[in-house]
Amino acid sequence: MILTVTLNTALDLTYRVRSLRPHASHRVSEVIERPGGKGVNVARVLAALGHEVTVTGFAGGGTGRAVRERLSAVPRLTDALLPAAGATRRTIAVVDELSGDTTQLNEPGPQISPTEWGTFLDRYEELLPGASAVALCGSLPPGVPVGAYANLVRDARSHGVPVLLDTSGEPLRRAVAARPDIVKPNADELAELTGSHEPLRATQDARRRGAHAVVASLGPQGLLAVTPEGRWHAVPPDPEHGNPTGAGDSAVAGLLSGLVDQLPWPDRLTRAVALSAATVRAAAAGEFDHAAYEKLLARVSVTAT
């Protein structure tokens, strides 16, 4: 079982409009609702790949109930979310059909009480012994200590469970020092962490700060990985046009899937890039175009750097 932690779950809403214009009224041509938050998206992609997945974190209020109802319909996914007094947030993606651009609006999430946080820590400890890998993903909701991910990394390592970290800002800075097995920042998060905008230098610097391996997401330029086994750059065959929401989460799912399947690093990166590109083609986050994914697997380019 792969365990994904989403402390700040969300109900993802995708609106499609013909053309998004400031100060104008818009007619929405399509609305898609999906359970979301980075770790939830990761879990849904892993389940679609055939892995058994457990999701934990918080879900509260009417939006929390909607998230859990939708998760109950996902095969191979177990819901271990905990109740919160506050309401789970919503995220809204507005897709401009003419330009292909997406505008994202993210609510902050509910206030988590000390008692709720303590209950989560107990649940996390209960789940770890049955996990083959752990993904710690996304932002921290209000009330959760800024060093939360650092402690969760240490707990996973104490159980001998490999852990992938995908977050940003001060939570990332603190958790890297706890020595996660894989860190997956995007280019902006990597620059904020290291102060360098040169991808290879920044990725190497992030690894020196404590991460066992660092895989940097460079958008259309693919993934750059610095690991104990070597350095690789994996790129999709062509630029993808569509909704990029969730593409990074699909890359995380590919890396975790490759980890538990004990694939060599180039194959892990191939899977991650193919899933990410196939997600851009899908209608909503946490989904990917299966046919495109199968075709892309043979066309991703991975080179040693």
Q: Which residues carry out catalysis?
A: 249
Cβ-contact 108, 145 below 8 angstroms: no
Cβ-contact 184, 211 below 8 angstroms: no
Alpha carbon distance 220, 201 (integer Å): 19
Q: In 220-265, where do the E strands start and end? A: 223-227, 230-235
Alpha carbon distance 173, 167 (integer Å): 9
Listed in sequence order, the residues at least 6 apart from 158 whose beta carbon sits closer than 8 Å to its beta carbon are none
Alpha carbon distance 226, 298 (integer Å): 23
Alpha carbon distance 96, 46 (integer Å): 28
Listed in sequence order, the residues at least 6 apart from 76 whose beta carbon sits closer than 8 Å to its beta carbon are 47, 50, 51, 52, 53
Q: What angle do CA 223, 233, 198 make, to 5 degrees?
A: 75
Measuring CA to CA, which residue among 218, 183, 180 is closest to residue 200?
Answer: 218
The helix (run of H) or strand (run of E) holding residue 271 is helix 265-280
Alpha carbon distance 95, 63 (integer Å): 22
Listed in sequence order, the residues at least 6 apart from 244 whose beta carbon sits closer than 8 Å to its beta carbon are 102, 219, 279, 280
